[in-house]
Amino acid sequence: MNSPRARRPQRDNGLIAAIGLLIFVGMIVIYTISPALNYGNIDNSDPNYFVYRHVLNLFLGGIAFYFGSKLPIEWWKKMLPVMVGVVVVSTVLLLFPQTSITAGGATRWVNLGFFSFQPSEVIKLTALVYTAFFLSNRSDDELNSSLSGLMPIGVLLLVAGLLVVVLQRDLSTMIVITLMVSGMLYFRGVSTKLLAIVSGVLLLLGVLAVVLFPYRTSRFTAFVNAGECDGQSECYQLDQSLTAIGSGGAFGVGIGRSEQVYGYLPEAENDSVFAIYGEIFGFTGTVALVALFGYLLWRLLVIAENQQSITGRLFAAGITIWLASHVLINVGAMTGLMPLTGITLPFLSYGGSSLIMILCVLGIAYQLSSSANTRSLR
């Protein structure tokens, strides 16, 4: 006999567990390094200043996660014009010193006084939504007949490249967008031949993006000559990162005992937070963190594989590659396996725009994990 009360669709609680654990780890790291980061801040002497800001970002991210988990997928299609409008307006605001923030020679933040954000994060979401609906609304013949079928995707990547790589000088974000879109093409079943051509063109554009900007060329040269370059100049950040990770030993120096966070390691709270984590928790903790990220990505991949609709499959695949790119690029750069580039480590880095947007898309993935949307949940 069926229950009179309708059964609620089951969702992937393993995904929630992984997200919760990563949020907890991130809170520990930010709490540990907050006093050092705030040292000498004449505007606010509270040692927990960065903790409070991080909690606020988590709160806003929680709201974004909630709405992402509740709003139907088709709603995002209706919001595409709004997202494009936000990208256009925020890009214009970047052109004016009064409404933008420049740091490290790059203008990537819009400053509205009461809050600031990175337009590149909105561009990621826009690229995800547009690509998912575009590919799901095209037949296999339309996508595989010739390159012309993929022309709108090419235009998307070209515009994103101009906005992100040229205007904002943010190559790492463009790499994430490129990998995400390319991965969605693969999941959609685009032919190997077309994927090879697209990959070749993107690789050529990537080389040009490095060659045409001297500071990127310098970073790449430092990566290639890591064993020979001067640790006090172009290899300074990598040298300090490896020092931090090596100092952690097997089990770490312990919470509150990091030395590299006191001005030695640049961007300790953002790009270099993995190195600080390695110093605090050591090799054992680092392996556990990578395993936790691996579990999260595995759950996302399972959700993608089990989707009933093409649109849902593409959304979940794009979200998986989005997060995987952040983790691989950040960890690879901090361990010397990839050239240094500025990108956050999800949940651990201090950065509101990235954290909020990642929680938003994970909310979408959580909705897609519902038994109403999937064939089966393993």
Q: Which of 115-119, 231-235, 353-357 has the lowest mean pLDDT?
A: 231-235
- Average model confidence (pLDDT) across the chain: 84
* Shared-domain flag, residues 148 and 269: no
Please indicate, yes or no, whether residues 126 and 56 belong to a single structural domain of this protein: no
* Paired tokens of 284: 């054992």
**For residues 346-368, average pLDDT:** 92
Residues 163 and 241 in one domain: no
Same structural domain, 63 and 104: no
Residues 237 and 367 in one domain: yes
**Token representation of residue 209:** 């993006």
Boundary-marking domain end, from 148, 178, 212: 212
Whether the CB-CB separation of 184 and 307 falls below 8 Å is answered with no
**pLDDT above 70: residue 128:** yes
Looking at residue 378, what is its pLDDT?
42
Tens-digit pLDDT profile for residues 318-346: 999 999 999 999 998 888 888 777 788 99
Answer with the one of 171, 186, 212 that is the final residue of a domain: 212
- My answer on whether 120 and 26 are in the same domain is no
Q: How far apart are CA 337 and CA 15, in angstroms?
A: 28
**Residues 284-296 pLDDT 10s:** 999 999 999 999 9
Residue 335 has which token pair?
A: 């361990």
Least-confidence region, from 29-43, 182-196, 216-230 = 216-230
Residues 153, 131: contact at Cβ < 8 Å?
Answer: yes
Residue at 363 is within a domain:
yes
Shared domain for 238 and 172, answered yes or no, is: no
What is the C-alpha separation between 265 and 263, in angstroms, rounded? 6
One domain for residues 249 and 312: yes
Do 256 and 282 belong together in one domain? yes
Is residue 231's pLDDT more than 70? no
pLDDT band of 3, cuts 50, 70, 90: very low
Q: How many domains does the chain have?
A: 2
Q: Which residues pair with 213 in a beta bridge?
A: none
10 Å Cβ neighbour count for 119? 28
Domain hosting 354: range is: 18-39+47-70+228-371
| DSSP string for residues in 69-99 | HHS-HHHHHHTHHHHHHHHHHHHHHTTSGGG
CA 216 from centre of chain: 20
Q: Helical H runs in 103-228?
A: 119-136, 140-144, 151-161, 171-188, 192-211, 214-224
State whether 178 and 273 are in the same domain: no
Asked if residue 13 belongs to a domain, the reply is no
Same domain? For 272 and 202 the reply is no
378 in a structural domain: no
At residue 1 the predicted structure's pLDDT band, cuts being 50, 70 and 90, is very low
- From CA 295, how far away is CA 303, in angstroms rounded? 12
How large is the greatest C-alpha to C-alpha distance in the chain, in angstroms? 75
| 221 belongs to a structural domain | no
Q: Tokens in use for 222?
A: 């430092």
Residue-level pLDDT at 140: 84
Rounded Cα distance, 57 and 354, in Å: 10
Q: What pLDDT was estimated at residue 170?
A: 80
Residue 75 reports pLDDT greater than 90: yes
- Is residue 8 in some structural domain? no
Region label for 362, one of left (φ > 0), alpha (ψ between -120 and 50) or beta (otherwise): alpha
**99 and 234 inside one domain:** no
Higher pLDDT, 233 or 90: 90
Tell me whether residue 195 is exposed, middle or buried, using C-beta atoms within 10 angstroms of its C-beta: 0 to 12, 13 to 18, 19 or more.
middle
Among candidate residues 143, 140, 141, the one with its CA nearest the CA of residue 194: 143
For 86-119, write each residue's pLDDT tens digit.
Answer: 999 998 898 888 888 877 667 788 888 777 888 8
In a domain, 111, yes or no: yes
Q: What is the mean pLDDT of residues 171-200?
A: 88
The answer for residues whose C-beta is within 8 angstroms of residue 111's C-beta and 6 or more apart is 99, 100, 101
pLDDT at 25: 94
DSSP E strands in the chain: the ranges are 100-103, 106-111, 116-117
Q: Is residue 140 part of a domain?
A: yes
311 neighbors 176 (Cβ within 8 angstroms): no
374 or 296, higher pLDDT: 296
Averaged over 253-282, what is the pLDDT?
A: 83
Any domain includes 10: no
Q: Is 93 in contact with 113 (CB distance < 8 Å)? A: no
The residue from 212, 241, 275 where one domain ends is: 212
Average pLDDT over residues 131-135: 94
